[in-house]
Amino acid sequence: MAQHRVVIVGGGFAGLKLAKDLKCRDTSITIIDRRNHHLFQPLLYQVATTVLATSEIAWPIRALFRDRKDVNTLLGEVVGVDLERRLVLLKDGNAVPYDTLVLATGARHAYFGRDEWEPFAPGLKTLEDATTIRRRILLAFEKAELETDPETRKALLTFSIIGAGPTGVELAGIIAQLAHRTLVKEFRSIDTSSARILLVEAGPRVLPVFPEALSEYATKSLTKMGVEVRTGQPVTACNENGISIGDEFVASRTVIWAAGVQASNAAAWVGAEMDRAGRAVVQPNLTVTGHPEIFIVGDTASVKTEQGDTVPGIAPAAKQQGEYVAAIIKARRRKRPEPPPFKYKHLGNLATIGPSSAVIHFGKFRLKGGIAWWIWGLAHIYFLIGTRSRMAVALSWLWVFLSGHHSARLITQKETLKDEV
């Protein structure tokens, strides 16, 4: 039997799970990613807010497959697919042949047609996004300390987060904690506890995927922590000076985008039908219509649940799809019947609100507060890769818990204040 070449584009949750599960005779796997590392995105906001170090939530993909001779890792940027000759086309002109292709290229934050907002309201998807946001937050306090004009100072001490899904809620909570507790004793000219943290949501409530009671609890907790929650009010403008919420302009020098994502270009590469968010509409077995040898999984695929909803873009969904596709490829290689259509099993939703509170919704099980936070924390440590990262993250959290001090408060990348918007 000839070697069967499986090419996976994207080393996110879906791609990694697939490669891990797919261990099959006469089958070789190539993982192509434009970054050298897998990123644990659910904790990326903690890098942006100075709690965790970059290397605590990212691992070199090739190191994860050190002991798998059948897995080849390739650092490269995919620009297209030659469907006829079955080649993945790279930006550097190289082409990688495949027998089975899996596109797991994820999503990027999207501005719903307002791309001009991006320089003023960075989103959070890569390590660089996180260190950029971290730099902006810390620089805002530093500049406020030097500023003599009270209006400008107020604008520097106003932080706006657009979008109140889990990421927006988590960001608002930690920024409030940073301003109202961690930094209070460190500045001499400003009172950081006077900082204003706005969480702006166009929809009617925060954490819309949670039951209403938990949304209400989250709003109350955030308010108690000093976050100003503004729901039902879309942001209508955004520039270097601040944002407009409906008709009201709020001077705010630090704005973070947590409002929406756009799928990668994978659908276009293979000519698949797209939904409104740019996701590829796939067959019930996650293949591309007319191309049983091509699968699309994770945030870049539009998959329906049994109830007809779209499967959410979260890590457990991506992993389930990776696992499912591994099972199909194995069945095909062993000439056994393929498994039945992909069925998403929703495990539940988790979100933290600040340093010691969380909400959990698992079917009929609902929990909020401190115990929910511990469950959230243990679950995330469990899902990290390797003992080393688990120890490091546990140590970082323990330290915050005991001392209240964040250990990754570095302004990096830009040399001076003047370089910054």
Q: Which of 54, 300, 321, 349 binds its own copies (CB under 8 A)?
A: 54
Instruction: State the nearest-atom distance from the C-beta of 74 to its own copies, in Å.
Output: 7
Length reported for the chain = 421
Q: Does 179 interact with its own copies (rule: CB under 8 A)?
A: no
Q: Is there a catalytic annotation at residue 170?
A: yes
Q: Work out whether strand 158-162 and strand 254-257 pair parallel, antiparallel, or are unpaired.
A: parallel
Beta bridge mates, 291: 288
CA distance 315 to 134: 24
CA distance 208 to 230: 14
Other residues' Cβ atoms within 10 Å of the Cβ of residue 189: 10
Q: Does 55 interact with its own copies (rule: CB under 8 A)?
A: yes
Q: Which of 138, 235, 259, 270 binds its own copies (CB under 8 A)?
A: 138
Ranges assigned E (strand) in 220-357: 227-231, 235-239, 242-245, 248-251, 254-257, 261-263, 280-281, 287-288, 291-296, 301-302, 349-352
Residue 291 structure tokens? 């191309």
Q: Does 46 interact with its own copies (rule: CB under 8 A)?
A: no
Catalytic residue among 118, 170, 293, 415: 170
Q: Does 420 interact with its own copies (rule: CB under 8 A)?
A: no
Stretch of 12-20, 138-146, 218-226, 355-363 contacting its own copies, by CB under 8 A = 138-146
Instruction: State the nearest-atom distance from the C-beta of 184 to its own copies, in Å.
Output: 9
- Helix axis angle, 386-403 relative to 370-383, nearest 10°? 150
Stretch of 1-9, 114-122, 181-189, 246-254 contacting its own copies, by CB under 8 A = 181-189
Stretch of 162-170, 184-192, 199-207, 215-223 contacting its own copies, by CB under 8 A = 184-192
Q: Does 188 interact with its own copies (rule: CB under 8 A)?
A: yes
Helix, strand or coil for residue 203? coil
The smaller minimum CB distance to its own copies, of residues 126 and 244, is found at 126
Q: Which of 8, 19, 27, 37 binds its own copies (CB under 8 A)?
A: 37
The smaller minimum CB distance to its own copies, of residues 126 and 283, is found at 126
CA atoms within 13 A on the CB side of 25: 3
Stretch of 59-67, 195-203, 223-231, 290-298 contacting its own copies, by CB under 8 A = 59-67
Place of tokens 């006829």: 84
Stretch of 109-117, 139-147, 278-286, 291-299 contacting its own copies, by CB under 8 A = 139-147
Give the DSSP letter string of 9-69.
E--SHHHHHHHHH---TTEEEEEEESSSEEE-GGGHHHHHTTSS-GGGSEEEHHHHTTT-T
Residues 102-131 that bind its own copies (CB under 8 A): 127-128, 131
Q: Does 254 interact with its own copies (rule: CB under 8 A)?
A: no
Q: Does 421 interact with its own copies (rule: CB under 8 A)?
A: no
Task: Number of residues interacting with its own copies: please give it, by CB under 8 A.
Answer: 56
Residue 232 structure tokens? 């039902």
Residues 363-392 that bind its own copies (CB under 8 A): 388-389, 391-392
CA distance 178 to 408: 12
Place of tokens 């389930």: 320
Q: Does 346 interact with its own copies (rule: CB under 8 A)?
A: no
Contact between 223 and 131 (Cβ < 8 Å): no
Just list the catalytic residues.
170
List of residues contacting its own copies (CB under 8 A): 34-37, 53-56, 58, 60, 62-63, 65-67, 69, 72-77, 91-92, 94, 127-128, 131, 138-139, 142, 145-146, 185-188, 388-389, 391-392, 395, 399, 403, 405, 407-413, 415-418
